[in-house]
Amino acid sequence: MAQAAEAAPAQPGQNAAMQMFQQWIQAMRDAAGLQCREVTLDDGLRYVYLEAGQGEPLLLLHGFGSNKDHFVRVAKSLAQRWRVIVPDHIGFGESDHPAEADYTPSAQAERLHRLAAALGLGPVHLGGSSMGGHIAMTWAALYPAEVKSLWLLNPGGAWSAPASELRTRIEQEGRNVLIADTVDEFRELLATVVHRPVPVPEPLLQAMAAERLANADLERRIFEHCAAEAVEPRIGGLATPALIVWGAHDRIIHPGSAAVLQGLMANARVQMMDDVGHLPAMEQPERVVADYLAFRDGV
């Protein structure tokens, strides 16, 4: 892609910082017992995913611009009870990035349904953050007999909800803070998605930004496809047990979306989290896990 060609090469300090970051991620994977695996579907699409644990399958779906390591901090506790599988969505991470693919949530859900079949999973529990939650709800609506429960962390798709800061900025400025074309824009992105930003050393920040900058053109296509497909028409009366978790300080998707979704689904409850922005699983992983375990015990 053009952005990849234009991205500045990493400097030695950035390379060292990224190596340290990757070592930290690998240590987190190892602590959770997560193994990196891959599978190629019948149509040639290649998925890369993390897996740990045994028992009922729990698929965790990351959000827009993220990857499978989004859930690494919660996977350790979850893998003690269930078979946890965390794929990179097509278009993100190490999975395939077909430039002209359909990236609507329904298309992604159908691909993931085929991934589950390829892995021989049978009925599954689904968790999803942001775009991943949008895809998870769509999957449950398309294949309701095959989804046992939904864990929805600031999910997208309720486009009738009040406008968020992100939506307002896109409408007024034509600027989508979730898509970064420069390191400065990536810095702004990091500060926007969480309630209490954590300082990131500059060499590491620039190394982390490189992947996002290289994928920016494809991310624009994916964002447009997601924004064009609302979940509300699909989930009215959906009986799948659902825990809807929302950071009260979410600037990306308005917290009022939680009430919209709860009003549509027949068996959903809402957990609102103070001092949390758009990424509960990263901002308060211990509390998020505790709430989910309680939810699953009641399913």
Residue 242 bridge partners (DSSP): 150, 268
- Show the tokens assigned to 79: 């893998």
> Which helix or strand (DSSP H or E) is residue 18 part of?
helix 12-32
Cα 213 versus chain centre, distance? 18
Task: State how far the Cα of 220 lies from the Cα of 104, in Å rounded to an integer.
Answer: 12
Residues comprising the chain, all counted: 299
Backbone phi, then psi, for 37, in 5-degree steps? -135, 170
- Which residue type sits at 96? D
CB atoms within 10 A of CB 70: 24
Decide: 50 and 75 in contact? Cβ < 8 Å: yes
Please list the active-site residues: 62, 130
Give CA–CA dist 274/2, Å, rounded.
40
Which residue carries 């991620």 as its tokens?
Answer: 25
